[in-house]
């Protein structure tokens, strides 16, 4: 029996359990990211535990933007939750990256990317883990577009930030799953105080 596509309510409190197939083919998502950007790494505390955060450095000459349904949002930071906050058909993934974007007037869109344990780490993430191996804080240069799966099919719904102040968010959760090696996972968990 074919699963019905996921249909979100008009506004949901995030994170949610997503049931059924993707409801977005990604055609309305357009990236305008520089080839590389400098990010500042730090371990930050939230009500849901510690997370690794990579904030867009003020030293960058170019900004990164994503346009969704003709509205443009600037990339502010990315961070990772262990385990994932969203679930798919009640399945919780090993990690979930959140790429946080914001308009000039304060509206958010967040792109979620899942990560699962495998034999190797998805290559564009390796630089981040290499820096983490020497320090929990510092700077690294990343190619931000390569961190998000090229195929942008996934789930699109209106929800909230998952931490205070729980502002409204347009969520895009990607179906394609990236991977992390056991050694990198343990490094991350240790930095976040979970190992």
Most confidently predicted of 17-21, 92-96, 134-138: 92-96
Strands 37-46 and 49-56: antiparallel
* Cβ atoms 132, 192 nearer than 8 A: no
Q: For residue 110, how many C-alpha atoms fall within 13 Å in the half-sphere facing its CB? A: 27
| Structure confidence at residue 7 as a pLDDT band (50, 70, 90) | very low
Whether 97 has a pLDDT exceeding 60, the answer reads yes
Higher pLDDT residue, 81 or 8? Answer: 81
Whether 62 has a pLDDT exceeding 80, the answer reads yes
* Cβ atoms 84, 94 nearer than 8 A: yes
- Cα–Cα distance between 180 and 192 in angstroms, integer? 16
Strands 168-174 and 154-160: antiparallel
Whether 66 has a pLDDT exceeding 70, the answer reads yes
- Residue 140 tokens, joined: 């690294």
- The whole-number pLDDT of residue 58 equals 95
Which residue ranges form the domains of the chain, and what is each CATH number?
A: 17-191 (3.10.200.10)
Whether the full predicted model's pTM is greater than 0.85, yes or no, is yes
Cis, peptide link before residue 150, omega less than 30° from 0:
no
- The whole-number pLDDT of residue 11 equals 59
Whether 6 has a pLDDT exceeding 70, the answer reads no
Q: What is the mean pLDDT of residues 103-119?
A: 96
Quote the DSSP letter at residue 19. -
Of 47-51, 120-124, 177-181, the one with minimum mean pLDDT is: 47-51
Q: What is the mean pLDDT of residues 50-57?
A: 94
Share of the chain above pLDDT 70, in %: 94
- The whole-number pLDDT of residue 45 equals 81
- The whole-number pLDDT of residue 164 equals 86
Please give the span between the terminal C-alpha atoms of the chain, in angstroms, as a whole number: 41
């Amino acid at each position: 029996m074919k699963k019905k596509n996921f249909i979100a309510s008009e506004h949901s409190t995030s994170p949610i359990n997503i049931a059924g197939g993707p409801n977005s083919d990604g055609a309305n998502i357009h990236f305008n990211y520089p080839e590389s950007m400098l990010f500042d790494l730090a371990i930050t505390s939230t009500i849901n535990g510690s997370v690794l955060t990579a904030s867009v450095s003020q030293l960058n000459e170019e900004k990164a933007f994503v346009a969704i349904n003709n509205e443009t949002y600037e990339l502010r930071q990315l961070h990772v939750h262990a385990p994932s906050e969203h679930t798919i058909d009640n399945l919780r993934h090993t990690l979930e990256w959140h790429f946080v974007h914001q308009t000039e007037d304060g509206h958010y869109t967040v792109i979620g990317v899942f990560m699962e344990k495998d034999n190797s780490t998805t290559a564009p993430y390796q630089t981040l883990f290499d820096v983490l191996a020497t320090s929990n804080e510092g700077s690294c240069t990343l190619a931000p577009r390569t961190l998000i799966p090229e195929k942008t099919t996934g789930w699109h719904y209106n929800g909230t930030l998952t931490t205070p102040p729980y502002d409204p968010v347009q969520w895009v959760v990607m179906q394609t799953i990236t991977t992390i090696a056991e050694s990198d996972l343990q490094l991350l968990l240790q930095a976040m105080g979970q190992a």
